[in-house]
Chain A
Amino acid sequence: MLAIEATGLTKHFGPTIRAVDGIDLRVEEGQIFGFLGQNGSGKTTTVRMLATLTRPTAGTARVAGVDVLANPAEVRRRVGVALQEVGLDELQTGRELLELQGRLFGQSAREARERAAHLLEVVGLADVADRPIRGYSGGTKRRLDLACALVHGPRVVFLDEPTTGLDPVSRDAVWRYIEELNRGQGVTVFLTTQYLEEADRLADTVAIMDQGKIVAQGPPGELKASIGTDSIMLTFEAEESAARAAAVLGQFEGVQRVLTSGQEVAVYLHDGASAVAAIVRLLDEAGAPAQTLVLKQPTLDDVFLQVTGHHLDVEDARPAAPSSGRNA
């Protein structure tokens, strides 16, 4: 069964801005679906439409089996949402906030109290539960926000850049919690992120969003395999040298694809290790010697570069490298 299904989902702001431009989505129940793209690519607007906070300009969407336009209140009963900006009332305590949220989802006072206590334990906030939220750190607020999204036991959870701005320790805690939520409780997670590592570690399926459109979609392993086995990343002194090198390397035997981004050139080919020496010689002869050369296995960054023509430009601090890779 599909947890999320969208067809031609579109959002325009005014006559010129096409924030989301007719995307199709199919997210299987029980998946972690990674929605990857840089700031302004349309990720958050998509989440807002699926979560009933923003009305689509066109298209249809069903979330947890319910049409978002026909029955938005029922959608809200079935989904949990943690937006990028944690929306917390800082005068309340963590416990008060969760209990009120539970009551507003129709829980009795006792149910709300018990559920809040359980979630506070789960996200490790029991010891600060009765302190005002304004005194919480960024990571603590993020964990409380996650708990808030889960207070009514949703089957689908939207997490909009849940680790942006967090320190590596808090980020790792959030990652582990998302994995537990998905694997332990079977909750479908729709995760937007601008961190490749995050998508690579957590997501069963990744969709890459660029300028309002989905430009690639599939399991991370398949996406990486689709662009060739190896890549050689080269940097040059100037963009002119990079362009000249790209032209030369395009003729090199075995090269599947060459992409240029500023002073960088990415070469995709099979068995890159055996081609390195010949490529270096070829560039020297062409008068475009490389300043640096790195041989890599394909990553989601390569996939991103290939399908969008540019690197993922992350404005915030990047997360620390994960200790283990689920989809490596």
Chain B
Amino acid sequence: MNGITATWLLTVRAFRESLKQPANELPNAFIPLFFYVVTVGAIGSVAQNAFGVADYKGFQLPVAVLQGAAGVANGAGLAMTLDIQSGYFEKLALTSTPRLAIVLGRMLADAIKAVILAGAIIVLALLYGSEFKTGIPGMAVLMAATFGFALAYSGIGVAIALKTGSPQAAQAGFIVFFPLLFLAPTFAPIEVFAAWLEAVARLNPVTYILLGMRSLVTEGWDAAALAKGGVAVLAIGAVTLTLTLLALRSRVRQ
């Protein structure tokens, strides 16, 4: 079996799974939109005077997109543990398909879902009054970055799932994201951070993904910011996909 075809078939299967359980996807859409509206409502009117951000709706838009992507991507690990516990993972492993396709199919499905959610968040943010400086091409780049981030981030939950087979452990992958998000310029520009927090934020790859995405919304085309964001996505992806491959190897070579 061709690995690409197998991956696509398993992506479709995972996607179809979401269509059969739409309620499972609602929190992934609700939580980032809720935080977006509440944060903009609470801080938006003082953001200009407090830290010089005129378009706080645009400033917060990439945060909502990343939150949504992380929520969706975290589902890959949980779904993988369910496949492992039900024995379906082994049923798939008994086919002649490359075993990596079993993992990639699941991760790709969640990355595609994250892109769809990002599109919905952008539309709602625009309706809410946000601007998007780079227009439709910028939106496409932001969604491509979302795809990369979701694919890379889902590797954390999937690696934990393959290693432990435990849904509780796989969901703990989401805990990794929150410190990374809040140790980044999420609510305010990095320049107003305390020195220690700024130092930590500058070591945090999510900072560069956020700044790259934000540049598309609030500033216009900034090649340096986009390049740094792209490198950060690749760095996260390199780590998580390596962990995923090691965990997969460990599971199928018991």
A→B interface (CB under 8 Å): 51-55, 73-74, 76-77, 81, 83, 85-92, 96, 100-101, 103-106, 132, 148, 152
Contact = CB atoms under 8 A, between A and B. Distances in A.
Contacts of B13: 89, 92, 100
A55 B254 contact: yes
Interface string B70-91: 0000000000000100111111
Contacts of B89: 87
B87 A104 contact: no
Q: Which of A76, A87, A106 has the most CB of B within 10 A?
A: A87
Interface of B: 1-2, 5-6, 9-10, 13, 16-17, 20-21, 83, 86-97, 252-254
A306 B96 CA distance: 42
13 contacts: A53-B254, A73-B96, A87-B87, A87-B90, A88-B87, A88-B91, A89-B88, A96-B16, A104-B92, A104-B95, A105-B96, A105-B97, A152-B95
Contacts of A88: 86-88, 91
A83 B90 CA distance: 9
Contacts of B1: 103-106
A76 B95 CA distance: 6
A73 B94 CA distance: 9
Task: List the 7 closest pairs (A to B, CB-CB), nearest first.
Answer: A87-B87, A87-B91, A104-B95, A104-B97, A77-B96, A89-B88, A106-B1
A249 B16 CA distance: 69
Contacts of A52: 94
Contacts of A105: 1, 95-97
A1 B81 CA distance: 41
A100 B87 contact: no
B90 to A, nearest CB: 5
Contacts of A74: 96
A55 B251 CA distance: 11
Given A55-B253, A88-B87, A90-B86, A100 B94 contact: no
Contacts of B83: 89
Given A54-B254, A85-B87, A91 B95 contact: no
Given A55-B253, A105-B95, A83 B87 contact: yes
B94 A76 contact: yes
Q: Which of B90, B94, B254 has the most CB of A within 10 A?
A: B94
Contacts of B97: 104-105
Nearest to A13: B254
A47 to B, nearest CB: 11
Contact of B87 (A73, A86, A92, A103): A86
B91 A101 contact: yes
A54 to B, nearest CB: 5
Contacts of B93: 53
Nearest to A53: B90
A103 B10 CA distance: 10
A76 B91 CA distance: 11
Contacts of B91: 87-88, 101, 148
Contact of A104 (B6, B16, B252): B6
Contacts of A89: 13, 17, 83, 86, 88
A87 B96 contact: no
Contacts of A148: 91
B86 A87 contact: yes
A101 B88 CA distance: 11
A106 B92 CA distance: 13
Nearest to B101: A104
Given A77-B96, A152-B96, 4 more contacts: A54-B254, A87-B87, A104-B1, A105-B95
A91 B20 CA distance: 8
Contacts of A76: 94-96
A77 to B, nearest CB: 4
Q: Which of B2, B6, B88 has the most CB of A within 10 A?
A: B88
B88 A51 contact: no
A211 to B, nearest CB: 21
A100 B92 CA distance: 10
Contacts of B96: 73-74, 76-77, 104-106, 152
A325 B251 CA distance: 41
A51 B94 CA distance: 8
Contacts of A92: 13, 16
B11 to A, nearest CB: 12
A104 B9 contact: yes
Contacts of B90: 53, 83, 87
A66 to B, nearest CB: 12
A76 B97 CA distance: 9
Q: Which of A91, A101, A106 has the most CB of B within 10 A?
A: A91
Nearest to B87: A87
A77 B98 CA distance: 12
A105 B93 CA distance: 11
A89 B105 CA distance: 15
Given A103-B9, A106-B1, A91 B94 contact: no
